[in-house]
Chains A and B, each alone.
Chain A
Amino acid sequence: MALDLELTHTLRSFVAAVELSVGDGATFALVGPSGAGKTTVLRTISGLLAPDAGRIAVAGETWLDTRRRIDLPPERRRVGYLFQEYALFPHLDVTGNVRFGATNGADVSALLERFRIAHLARARVDALSGGERQRVALARALARDPAVLLLDEPLAALDTHTRAAVRSELREVLAGLGIPTVLVTHDFEDAAALADEVGVIVEGRILQVDTPAGLVAAPASPFVASFTGATLLPGTAAPGRDGLTEVSLDAGLTAWSTDPGEGRVALGIYPWEVSIAREIPADTAVNHVRAPIVSLVELGNRVRLRVGPLAAEVTAGSATRLGLREGEIVVASFKATAARLLPL
């Protein structure tokens, strides 16, 4: 099966040009800021939007080929499309929604069981919670026996409380599917949790494609680094001692990196690679910033700090042990191997 796609489409302020292929059972996430052209890709695959030019083949069947004038209407493309707000039909109950596009062979009651909504079979959809609505929408999309699954911001309509639970549920569902899945989100964390491969898209172009871990390990551009959560510090790089690169940061500090580089660069540091201490520690980290804690925010079992220009993330336990409070002067340290150099 698998999905192969290439498309060009003129949007309001730029031209989207996207090329991607997703294997069977694989999940590909397109992440990027809103208005980057992510939904355009999904609408094109589903046939709801006719692009200026393009070619889409799913499971060996051509759905779109503008050069050969092939353009199947949406109802003839076997897609499962999960809309951002789920787009459940308010005039039908849960069963009616799931049955709407079901193929003749589809076992609707088995699907209701599988998604734990059998007890809601006769319920009105506007009486459901966010998580339940998503399960109904997924069951409805899969009842069609799709050849490709499209998810548009599947977690955006949920509150933070249910988000984490639904995310791990969705992960399990996706893992059990044998078809390609394309997921669209503005949240890198969601993409990293759900997808095998992530493409960062900005203004209609995919900047970099890699596994979530690969993107973080080697972001190809300052945008990808900052989008995946790194703090960017601009500066000027030059070869320094011990084969390291010395970076004079615009903020007035000097940092060392194992990445090669010269001239204008951005130094990218992920918050979880920054450690916090009261005094300069005698460890392997070569980069130290002594500065007051600008802000301190608790995120469940973690605490996110801003120390001078750096963002740091430590466990809630460590923060309590050190008695960290806003305004106090601490030392933030990171290793030269954690300092990524990105040419500007």
Chain B
Amino acid sequence: MPPGELISALQSDVAKDALVVTFETNLIALALILVLGTPTAYWAATRQSRFRDLVVTLIELPLVLPPAVAGIGLLAAFGRLGLLGGTLDTLGIDVAFNKVAVVLAVTFVASPFYVRTAVSAFEALDPTLPAAARTLGAGPGGVFFRVALPLAAGGLGAGAALAFARGLGEFGATIMFAGSLQGVTQTLSLAIYEQFDLDFDVALAISAVLVATSAATLLSVKLVTRWRSTSSSPIPSVASSPLSS
């Protein structure tokens, strides 16, 4: 398919809506993953709590679960008849089959990619550095923001990119938990699935966009890693990233 046709296929409403929904939900999900995942990873990397293994297992679970199970799980937890559905309902929040559902599905499925990489990044820090910071007057919070975070930044960035790339292609959990409503919950991968029967050119064009975005994301990780390793700071090796485990 020539580039001209590819671009015009992307002009269709389906493709444009899917692009907006995908990036909107994925950026919110990424923000959620960073804000919740970073302290969790730091906690897991620095504490020898009995709950540590339990928490890490729960975080890793979505890695090995089939997406369909993830979707069912999310429905059981957040759906109208689910465990938390009643509570959310009384608060006036309806989760299933809207953008919130897409964000939850993406967060659920993509977060382990970030958290696992972040745990290794924090574990790779030389433990005398936080100790030195304490003797220089930094409290636990100061150690986190002034030492651990900047030193682990390379690893955290790599983990965030992996999670983002995984989230962009999210399919199974989203279609079960959020449905595939154009302009609301229909992400790029859901649009491909729908357009596959209706307009193959649109499906192909969207696929090309996903391939390009994912490749660019992964490539940027490598460039950032190389730039940082020539300048400083430990970065967990590829062997410790979830993709190779």
B57 close to A (CB within 8 Å):
no
- Whether B136 and A46, one on each chain, are in contact in the complex, defined by CB atoms closer than 8 angstroms, is no
- Whether A90 and B138, one on each chain, are in contact in the complex, defined by CB atoms closer than 8 angstroms, is no
The 8 Å CB contact of A48, one of B129, B134, B136, B147, is B134
Within 8 A of B (CB), among A67-125: 73-75, 77, 79-81, 83, 85, 87, 89-91, 100-101, 124
- Whether B137 and A101, one on each chain, are in contact in the complex, defined by CB atoms closer than 8 angstroms, is yes
- Whether B151 and A75, one on each chain, are in contact in the complex, defined by CB atoms closer than 8 angstroms, is no
The 8 Å CB contact of B136, one of A73, A91, A140, is A140
- Whether B233 and A90, one on each chain, are in contact in the complex, defined by CB atoms closer than 8 angstroms, is yes
Known: A91-B151, A124-B232. A83 touches B128 (CB 8 A): yes
The 8 Å CB contact of A87, one of B132, B138, B231, B233, is B132
CA distance A47 to B138 in the complex (A): 13
Known: A75-B138, A144-B136. A91 touches B131 (CB 8 A): no
CA distance A90 to B134 in the complex (A): 16
* Smallest beta-carbon distance B187→chain A, Å: 37
B204 close to A (CB within 8 Å):
no
Q: B139 to chain A: which residues have CB within 8 Å?
A: 73, 75
A126 close to B (CB within 8 Å):
yes
- Chain A's interface size range is 20 to 34
- Whether B128 and A75, one on each chain, are in contact in the complex, defined by CB atoms closer than 8 angstroms, is no
- Whether A75 and B132, one on each chain, are in contact in the complex, defined by CB atoms closer than 8 angstroms, is no
* Smallest beta-carbon distance A35→chain B, Å: 18
CA distance A140 to B137 in the complex (A): 12
- Whether B136 and A90, one on each chain, are in contact in the complex, defined by CB atoms closer than 8 angstroms, is no
Q: A85 to chain B: which residues have CB within 8 Å?
A: 128
- Whether A101 and B138, one on each chain, are in contact in the complex, defined by CB atoms closer than 8 angstroms, is yes
- Whether B150 and A87, one on each chain, are in contact in the complex, defined by CB atoms closer than 8 angstroms, is no
B146 close to A (CB within 8 Å):
yes
Within 8 A of A (CB), among B210-237: 231-233
Q: 1/0 per position for B102-143, CB-CB distance to A under 8 A? A: 000000000000000000000000101101111111110010
- Whether B150 and A101, one on each chain, are in contact in the complex, defined by CB atoms closer than 8 angstroms, is no
Q: A101 to chain B: which residues have CB within 8 Å?
A: 133, 135-138
Q: A74 to chain B: which residues have CB within 8 Å?
A: 131, 134-135
Closest Cβ neighbor of B128 among chain A residues: A87
- Whether A100 and B134, one on each chain, are in contact in the complex, defined by CB atoms closer than 8 angstroms, is no
Closest Cβ neighbor of A140 among chain B residues: B136
- Whether A126 and B232, one on each chain, are in contact in the complex, defined by CB atoms closer than 8 angstroms, is yes
Within 8 A of B (CB), among A133-147: 140-141, 144
Within 8 A of A (CB), among B68-106: none
- Whether A87 and B126, one on each chain, are in contact in the complex, defined by CB atoms closer than 8 angstroms, is yes
**A to B CB contacts below 8 Å, 26 in the list:** A46-B135, A47-B135, A48-B131, A74-B135, A75-B134, A75-B136, A75-B142, A81-B132, A83-B128, A83-B132, A85-B128, A87-B126, A87-B129, A87-B132, A89-B129, A89-B133, A90-B151, A90-B233, A91-B147, A91-B233, A100-B136, A100-B146, A101-B133, A124-B232, A141-B136, A144-B136
Task: Across the A-B interface, give the 5 residue pairs with the lowest CB-CB distance, nearest first.
Answer: A101-B136, A74-B134, A87-B132, A81-B135, A87-B128
Residues of B within 8 A of A (CB): 126, 128-129, 131-139, 142, 146-147, 150-151, 231-233
